[in-house]
Amino acid sequence: MLKLQTAIEFLLTYSWAFIILAAVLIILVYLNVFNPLFNVPRLPPGYCYVSRPLGPGYNEGVSLLGDCFSRDLPEYVFTSRGPGDYIRVNGSDNYTSLANIQGDQLTITAWVYVNGWPYHDIVDKEGQYGMKLDYNDTYLGFCKHPNTFCLEFDDYGDWIGENFTIPGMTFHQWNFLAVVLNGSNKYFYANGKLIGHTDTGQPIQYVDSNLTIGACSTYSCYQNQAEWFNGSIADVQIYDVALSSSDIAALYNEGIAGAPIDLAGIVAWYPLDGNPYDYSGDGLNGSVVNSSFAYSSFSTSYQPLT
């Protein structure tokens, strides 16, 4: 009986300490401090950029400057929480014409991490081109298989375009996505591998719309909540050339802080490491609407893909 009384007195005396210790451990687990990736080096905003000595749109002397090949993780990623949170590049900007890609060659790449619904618009220039996700959507179109993500590639002649299933993609997981237009051929890639191809592509024509990341780019469609993106986006690259399958694989292997692989063809590059600026040298800086660059969800959630 004395031992039991002593044990009860001990618990009553020090219970507050156990509660505090448990709370601290819960917080540390939530912050993922015990993840071995937590303390790895972080790349600050502007870690790498394309230098164009003659100015936007000129390729003479173009080069990469900065810490471009360390394969470290970015300090931040862009985090959108759904309707109202996105990045906009104003269509009236003097240099935005460089993103008004016209012709039959285009490449869009990005790393994405989906938290939940909605998850549709990754990159959009409404009516002109866009890279998007589908998942059992009725308004936006069905995936070929239930309960799977599929990659959609829209162009001027095919809005709500063809889509292909992304093998193994789930919520709360980083994936590298890419779409390529080369003549009439449209190629779909996930994590460095070709997942689909059609020959229904049509030449891209000019449309007076904003370029957006994480949202539909026109007022009429971003009123529909299904058009938004709830999650994180990083390292968006837009080219006016058709990258090859080996180029796409190389970008995937570079990781989430990878630099552009074709400096003459890159027209917009948004690392999204703490700001919405364009590091392609073409001056297509964006602005953040409502959302914020929270300390990288990448730092707490990312696991290398195998």
Residue 177 contacts residue 151 (beta carbons within 8 Å):
yes
Domain co-membership, 199 together with 278: yes
Lowest mean pLDDT of 67-71, 83-87, 162-166, 302-306, name the range.
302-306
Domain co-membership, 219 together with 153: yes
Stretch 161-188: mean pLDDT, rounded?
A: 91
Query: Hey, which residues does 109 pair with through a beta bridge?
Result: 178, 237
Domain that holds residue 10: 1-30
Domain co-membership, 49 together with 16: no
What CATH number should be reported for the domain holding residue 84?
A: 2.60.120.200
Domain co-membership, 21 together with 143: no
Domain co-membership, 139 together with 242: yes
pLDDT at 290 (0 to 100): 73
Please state the domain count of the chain: 2
Domain co-membership, 3 together with 102: no
Domain co-membership, 248 together with 136: yes
Torsion over CA: 92, 94, 99, 104 (sign): positive
- Decide if pLDDT at 297 tops 50: no
Measure the CA–CA gap between 50 and 180, rounded to whole angstroms. Answer: 22
Domain co-membership, 223 together with 91: yes
Domain co-membership, 186 together with 284: yes
Structural domain contains residue 306: no
pLDDT at 176 (0 to 100): 97
Average pLDDT of the chain is: 80
- Decide if pLDDT at 2 tops 80: no
Cβ count within 10 A of residue 55: 11
The beta strand positions in 148-294, using DSSP E, are: 150-155, 163-165, 174-182, 185-190, 193-198, 211-213, 229-239, 266-270, 287-289
